[in-house]
Amino acid sequence: MDRLLQGLRAAAEPTRLRIMALCSHGELTVSDLTNILNQSQPRVSRHLKLLVDAGLLERFREGAWAYYRLSETTETAELSHSLVDFVPVGDGVHSRDLERLQFVKRARADQAATFFRENAERWDKIRKLYIDDQSVESALIRTLSKAETRGLLDIGTGTGRILEIFGDSIERGVGIDLSHEMLSVARVNLEQQGLRNCHVRYGDMNDLPLDQESFDAVTFHLVLHYADDPSAAIKEAARFLNPGGRLVVVDFAPHEVEGLRDEHAHRWLGFDDEMIESWFAHAGLEPERPIRLPGDPLTVCVWPAVRSDAVVAGPGTTQTMAEVRV
């Protein structure tokens, strides 16, 4: 009851309700909100702190920036969404806020387009080495369609493409990446697709910025070859996978294209089945039959695994998922 009353008190102020309504349309920074609301940064920051403390908004740090979005994981998340639903669609103040929000989104889109354009040639060179992206994505879709997927965690999300593919069929999607530039591209792509149920966060695959969250599926899409310790990354991801959930690694089979190591910072020149399966076992995952997609000269493999009721917590130690969540 106390938490509910705190949430109601926090929302019962015009500017704070405007902020909540804006954050329901995507992740926004203090600077974004200052420009939209035409209010001072200290004032906007005070409003944001009250909303975060009440659990109506969530705050995610990304380098020097902090992004705010409507709460999804707190105990007052349902209240925050319900309150926003009561904001009149034709309200004059809210309509003006949304118009200004479009200017912010257009500026983001321009920055993302510039970054993508400057790097497109480099990415295209890699794509020419393996089978087309559509075939890879189709294999991933077939793999994850074997079980219901309500929540999806995409590690090394890049442009957010995997979240785009599954966005319409899941309740919630979270993408993690270490590149601020790629996160900017992903945010724009998700906004343009209208996928408010998906968002991205800055974070390391070895230390995921997640707290008491769980997912039905976790994907590593052409990213594990950048990892210093792929086994540790898989084990970290498996901690947030629901029992019966599926973790899928999409990456290259062993190859000898040294240019990918020298020019594109690949730490690993592909993986074989034994390596992947041993890392799955270390993380408490049961491997399933892989899918191979031969290309020239690179072969892409889709390695799926299922989470059992037990999760490996450390050397010689096993805990149930329920115990881990306590």
Residue 93's contacts (CB-CB under 8 Å, 6 or more residues apart) are: 14, 18
Judged against a pLDDT cut of 60, whether residue 322 lies above it is answered with no
pLDDT value of residue 263: 83
Looking at residue 253, which CATH number applies to its domain? 3.40.50.150
Q: Pick the residue with more confidence: 198 or 64?
A: 198
**Pairwise CA distance, residues 231 & 43, whole Å:** 45
pLDDT in tens, 142-196: 999 887 899 999 999 999 999 999 999 999 999 999 888 889 899 999 999 999 9
Instruction: For residues 109-116, give the mean pLDDT.
Output: 74
Same domain for 84 and 10, yes or no, is yes
Same domain? For 133 and 247 the reply is: yes
- Are residues 195 and 145 located together in one domain of the fold? yes
Residue span of the structural domain in which 306 resides: 129-325
> What's the Cα-to-Cα distance from 48 to each of 7, 109, 307, rounded to whole Å?
13, 25, 38
**Mean pLDDT for the stretch of residues 207-232:** 92
Q: Are residues 95 and 138 in the same domain?
A: no
Residue 227 domain-assigned (yes or no): yes
The verdict on residue 211 lying in a domain is yes
Residue 222 CA to residue 249 CA, distance in Å, equals 8
Q: Please check whether residues 154 and 281 belong to one and the same domain.
A: yes
Residue 294 Cα distances to 140, 236, 240, 248, 301, angstroms: 15, 29, 31, 18, 8
Q: What's 14's domain CATH number?
A: 1.10.10.10
Task: Work out the percent of the chain whose per-residue pLDDT is above 90.
Answer: 60
Where is pLDDT greater, at 174 or 213? 174
What's the number of domains the chain is made of? 2
Does the residue 287 lie in any domain? yes
